[in-house]
Amino acid sequence: MQWRPSPNFDERWPNFVIIHATSNDTADEALRTLTDPQRRVSSHYLIGREGTVYQLVDERARAWHAGESKWGADTDLNSVSLGIELDNNGREPFPDIQISALLTLLSGIAERYRIPAANYLGHGDVAPARKVDPSSHFPWEILARQGYGLWCDPPWPEPPAVMDTALALRAIGYDVSDLEAAIRAFKRHFVQDETSTGLTDRDRGVLYCLLSKSTHWTPTSENASPLSAAAWRHRRDVSR
């Protein structure tokens, strides 16, 4: 690991990990941006395509990576998260060696902070109207199988007909002030498809599955009404 200090940070304590893609073609380009005082943007780590890990900001400091963001009741993700940038232009797969380096890094982070599995997210999840990274190419399923994020495998449960999409997404944590953006972010992460904002039966099944996992409570046909979905949201916020 190489230490490349950035002056762009404040103090804070992490409870989330936010994964980004740099949108650059090389790690050197990203490093110049992330360490430039005039740009006022940074992350805790950058991982190159070839697996080199650069640390730019101390983990206990507040890096400036998420910007205007929201997840559940948290409206300032910079204050409660670690930011990890991946050297990727957003249009390409992530090399195995890069993902291997990421998993090693996440293993250490998990030991130090005990971050809940549901709190490993993408930039596009916490800023759905502004960002799309780390893109639909990112292998969230691989991370989730190691305990870094949530994932739902088939067969997916059949959701009740009364399940309200907006309230279900809010219960997971999404900002639904722009509902189409929130649906795209959900599909990009958990379905690996962002070609439309329409929800298929499969998409609704995945959403219903994630709802039970993210709230640690399994809804039933008797209590899965729109009002119950609001209660799931309240339950989730109170439990934080």
pTM score over 0.95: no
For the chain, where do the domains classified as CATH 3.40.80.10 start and end? 2-145
Confidence of residue 215 (pLDDT cuts 50, 70, 90): low
Q: In the structure, what pLDDT confidence band is assigned to residue 52 with cuts at 50, 70 and 90? A: very high
Q: How far from 176 is each of 44, 60, 78, 184, 209, CA to CA, in Å?
A: 28, 30, 20, 11, 19
DSSP H helices in the chain: 27-34, 96-113, 123-126, 140-145, 165-172, 179-186, 201-215, 226-239
pLDDT tier at 214 (50, 70, 90 boundaries)? confident
Q: Are 61 and 9 in contact (CB under 8 A)?
A: yes
∠ CA(117), CA(49), CA(125), 5° rounding? Answer: 35
pLDDT for residue 238:
36
Measured CA distances, 39 to 31, 33, 35, 65, 124 (Å): 11, 7, 8, 11, 21
Assigned token pair, 181: 């953006």
Residue 231 has pLDDT above 60, yes or no: no
Mean pLDDT, to the nearest integer, of 178-184? 96
pLDDT at residue 195 in the model: 81
Task: Report helix angle 165-172 to 201-215, nearest 10.
Answer: 40
Assess whether pLDDT exceeds 60 at residue 218. no
User: For the purposes of burial, counting CB atoms within 10 Å of the CB of 153, is it exposed (0-12), middle (13-18) or buried (19 or more)?
Assistant: exposed
3-state secondary structure of 119: helix
Catalytically annotated residues: 85
Tell me the pairing of strands 9-11 and 61-63: antiparallel
Better-scored residue on pLDDT, 93 or 197: 93
**Assigned token pair, 119:** 């709190």
Whole-number Cα distances in Å, 237 to 71, 80, 215:
10, 15, 10
Does residue 225 register a pLDDT over 80?
no
Domain 2-145 CATH superfamily: Peptidoglycan recognition protein-like (3.40.80.10)
Q: How confident is the model at residue 11 (pLDDT cuts 50, 70, 90)?
A: low
Q: In what order do the strands lie in the sheet with 45-47?
A: 2-3, 53-55, 45-47, 81-86, 16-21, 120-122
Residue 224 above 80 pLDDT? Answer: no
